[in-house]
Each structure stands twice: as structure tokens, then as C-alpha cells.
Structure 1
Amino acid sequence: MDATETAKRTATASAATGRGRGRRQGYATGDARRARILNIALQEFGENGYRGTSLARIAERAELTQAGLLHHFRSKQELLTAVLDLRDAMDAERLDLSNLPDGGEPTLLALVALVEHNARQPGIVQLFTVLTGEAVTTDHPAHGWAQERYRLLSTSIATALQHGVQAGELRADLDATACAQQVMAMMDGLQLQWLLDPERMDMAATFRAYIDGLLKQISA
């Protein structure tokens, strides 16, 4: 191979490497920009709800044009879906709602740990509270998500409690479904009070005391 051919091949390989590096850098930049948009949208949806949130405002905070934002998320509804997925992923790091610990007491104590974690994540709690409040209307884009989430959590807690009954850990006359719904109602009610007045409401301590009392009532 002569010097001219070697130079041509070296130049071609260098250009290909440069293009590959450029693509990788482009992907990394795009991922970072998408993550920034999601974090800003999470804050905006949590503060203003879905209907009160503006794509123009999110784009401005992300230092993008609205067209630039729509390059990453094609609509406000798609952005909301991505934010809800992000929120669920954050929750899954602490507790897999579809696979709670087997048995009543382990499940209830896992929920205590989740509430304690949430007490350090006010933005995430606010997002959930605001969006689920809005989502009671059937035309809200998060309606199906909220409905499915409550069904999943209720079923998972009730199933774990029923296993506790079957194992002789919990009282035989326990209504597992009603108990699960009451636990969920307590979690939601405490979250709302905590968001409204965090200085006076210790959400984690109050929920732990509630679960401690509940376990005394329902233990076999």
C-alpha cells in the first residue's frame, strides 16, 4: 500500500471516529437536555398542576425555544406522561408497588419507610398531590394513571394483609381490602396536611404512630 493510499484510509478512519464521537456527544447532550426539561416540568406541574402549566414557561426555564422543547416531547401530554414515569421510577427505587413484601407487618413497615423518604422529597409529594387532585375528572390526561396507581396499591396492600391473615400473623376477621383503603387514605390525608403546614405536621412520625397502633389492633 503506497503512502497516498495509507493517508486516504487514515483520513477516512479519523473522520468516521470523529462522526462516532460526535454522535455520542450529541446523544449525551440530548439526554442531558431531556433530563433538564423533565426536572423543570416536574416542578412546574407540581406547583401549577397540568392545566396551569405552560410549555412556553418550561421552555424558557430550560433555555430553549418552544420548538426546541417539542423536539424532545411532542406535546404537553407526552411531557406529563414522561414526568409521571419519572416519578414512578423514583418511587420504585424505594418500594416496588407491584411487589410489596409478603405479609401484613412487613408491608405496613415498608409503607412507613416510604413515607419517611417522601418527607425528604416535598417536590415529588406535591406533584403527586396536585396531579391526583386534578385527575378526578375523567378528561384529565393523568386520570388513567392515577386510577391505575390507586388500584395497584390497594390490591397490593390488601393481598399482603390477606397473606398475613392466612399465616396467622393477623386477625382472622380482618377485612384486608377495607384496611388497605384506610391506610391509603391516611397516607394521602397526611401528605395534604403536611404540604399545607409542614412546620406543624410531622408526616413521618404521625404515620409511624398510626401504623404502630394499627398493628396492635389487627395482630392475631
Structure 2
Amino acid sequence: MTTSPSRRRGPYAKSATTRAALLDAAVAAFAEAGYNGASLRDIAARANVTQTGLLHHFPSKVALLEAVLDERDRADSAAISEFLGEGSSVIDALVLLVERNQRQRPIIELYTALSAEATSEEHPAHAYFRRRYARVGDQLAADFAKLRDDGMLRDDVSPRSAARITMAALDGLQLQWLLALSDEDAEPVDMVAEARQFLSLLLR
């Protein structure tokens, strides 16, 4: 007897839904408690699955963390490709990415918390962040080199330096934005406007 396509898709669709729920739950748990403070039991409960069910999808806490980080990178890369495909310049694409991230507070909280924790060589995300900063830095340096060749980058700023300070500025803006959100008396931080202002300082 041949199983209909709709029936074949059922279990896979449910599995994908459960996996997505676990990733969302992990983002929230890691952001709130950090990697070491979050437990698989809590993450499973947030996703309304058993811990056994969680381990079916992710065999370890490290595997779950890696999946969360990989998903964030995949989503960011897809967004940048979409912006560039629609005709945005590299600078505009960076600002649009900041605007997109400003609508995803849990992801920003997760990234900020983990990047601080991961400065320790023993942290499971240490190698990931080293690779990520190297990869993103190389890509930004190449982008700024093209801007230099097109006569758009300031003469006193090297592409590599522009890449490093851009990563530092955008990460720092995210931290200040999160701190302002948690204090009702703090002056709001408009990450989009500040990012655009900063990037404009690198250009002629």
C-alpha cells in the first residue's frame, strides 16, 4: 500500500514545528540565564515537550546551542542577500539588518549574553564566536575595500579598520539598546539612526 504524500508530510511537518519551538525556547532560556544557567528541562518545558523529546532533536545542550547560533547566522545571511538582491548598497544593507534585529529582542539578548560568556576559552561557544568575528570581519573588510576602490571610503580609514570598528559599534549599540529598554527612565536608543550616523562617518 502506498502512503499518500499528505500523510508522509505529516510527521515531518510536526517534527519541524517541534524543532522550531525548541529553538525559540532555547533562545529565550539562554538569553535569560546564559548557557550555563539554562537547563534542558526548562527549555523542554518552555516548548511543551518532554526532555526525552528534546534530546531526540538535539542530543546535547552543546548541540542545541550550536543549532541556535547556526540558525541566527542563516537568518542574517539570508536577510543580507535579500537586501543586496533588491538593490541596496552594502551600507544600506547593514542598516536594514540593524532595523530587522531591532524587532528581534530575544535574539539580541541571546547574542549579547553569549558573546560575553564566550570570552572564556572553556565556553562551548568560544570557537564559534572566534570564527564568526573572523568571517564577518573578512566579509566587511572586502566590502569596505570595494567602497575604497569606488572612491567612497575615507582616505584615513583602512578597510580592515572600518570592518573592526563597525562590528564593535554595532555590537555596542545593541548592548546600549537593551539597557535602555530595561530602564524606563533611560533615554531611548534608536539603533537604526545611530548605525546610519556611524556608518556615514566612514564615508566621504
Q: TM-score range, shorter-chain basis? A: 0.7 to 0.9
Matched, 1:163 2:149: no
Distance 1:172 1:21 in 2: 60
Residue among 43, 66, 90 paired with 1:107: 90
Query: How many residue pairs were aligned?
Result: 195
Q: Provide TM-score, normalisation by structure 2.
A: 0.86
Distance 1:173 1:202 in 2: 28
The 5-angstrom pairing of residues 13-24 of structure 1 reads 13=1, 16-17=2-3, 23-24=8-9
Kindly, what percent of the aligned residue pairs are identical? 44
Cα distance change, pair 66–161 in 1 and its aligned pair in 2 (3 A): same
Q: Cα deviations across residues 89-143 of structure 1 (Å, max 9, x unaligned)? A: 22123115xxx89xxx932222111111111111111111111111111111111
Distance 1:17 1:165 in 2: 59
Residue among 142, 162, 165 paired with 1:179: 162
Q: Is the CA contact (8 Å cut-off) linking 1:45 and 1:127 kept in structure 2?
A: yes
Query: Which structure has the bigger radius of gyration?
Result: 1
Structure 1: tracts of 5 or more residues without a match = 1-12
Report the CA distance between 1:62 and its aligned residue. 2.1
Aligned partner of 1:141 in structure 2 is: 124
Q: Is the CA contact (8 Å cut-off) linking 1:56 and 1:66 kept in structure 2?
A: yes
Residue among 1, 15, 22 paired with 1:30: 15
Aligned partner of 1:76 in structure 2 is: 61
Report the CA distance between 1:172 and its aligned residue. 4.3
Q: Is the CA contact (8 Å cut-off) linking 1:165 and 1:174 kept in structure 2?
A: no
Secondary structure of the 1:141 match is coil
Q: Provide TM-score, normalisation by structure 1.
A: 0.80
Aligned partner of 1:116 in structure 2 is: 99
Q: Amino acid of the residue matched to residue 214 of structure 1?
A: L
Matched, 1:63 2:48: yes
Secondary structure of the 2:174 match is helix
